[in-house]
Amino acid sequence: MQPRTRSAQLYEEALEHIVGGVNSPSRSFKAVGGGAPVFMERAQGAHFWDVDGNTYIDYLAAYGPIITGHAPPHITKAITHAAETGTLYGTPTELEIKLARMLKEAIPSLDKVRFVNSGTEAVMTTIRVARAYTKRNKIIKFAGCYHGHSDLVLVAAGSGPSTL
């Protein structure tokens, strides 16, 4: 393994421009001994490479969403096609209906779907629906766990002030 000198340099530079030097407390490496986080340069399949030339097996998987691995050709092709045909409309599209139909076919108990922009928005919507259905205001959450970047669920999220 090569020394992580470039990662350390990038971290020092990031500290000048980004709160905490990273865009998420989970990327700070404070929970695993501190020091400069490893800055990645590229990824393919189940591997990624840091800016110092080290290769890693990606057990992190971007905290869940990279279940297909990095840059699979069929997904890269679909993303490229989507970018070439328009990146953001702000209106309904036929693809939304197709995706909703696919999800309902894959999950038979699913009646309808609501697409949102982030995990935080999904959690906030879920809380809103649960409160409306149960007519109760209190919610239960796991202490020390991350449930999104909403004030309502950041209580005891495990990161303290660094959740900002």
Same domain as 133, residue 65 = no
Pairing of strands 40-44, 47-50: antiparallel
Tokens of 149: 């970047």
3 with 80, same domain? yes
The reply to whether 110 and 61 lie within a common domain is no
Q: Write the CATH number for 52.
A: 3.90.1150.10
Question: Do both 81 and 94 map to the same domain?
Answer: no
10-residue mean pLDDT profile of the chain (164 residues): values are 90 93 72 77 96 94 85 95 90 95 97 93 94 94 81 70 49
User: Do residue 48 and residue 94 come from a single domain?
Assistant: no
Distance CA(145)–CA(149), nearest Å, equals 11
| Residue ending a domain, choose from 48, 72, 87 | 87
Does residue 9 share a domain with residue 74?
yes
Q: How far is CA 36 from CA 31, 42, 59, 126, 137, in A?
A: 12, 18, 19, 36, 41
Give me the pLDDT at residue 33, please. Answer: 63
- Judgement on whether residues 83 and 94 belong to the same structural domain of the protein: no
Find the domain containing 150 and state its range. 88-163
Q: Provide the pLDDT for residue 163.
A: 47
How many domains does one find in the chain?
2
Half-sphere exposure of 122 (CA within 13 A, CB side): 9
Considering the domain architecture, whether residues 83 and 93 belong to the same structural domain is answered as no
Are residues 16 and 76 both part of a single domain? yes
pLDDT confidence of residue 158: 60
pLDDT at res. 61: 85
Q: Which of 53, 87, 121 is the last residue of a domain?
A: 87
Among 42, 61, 87, give the residue marking a domain's end. 87
The amino acid sitting at 135 is K
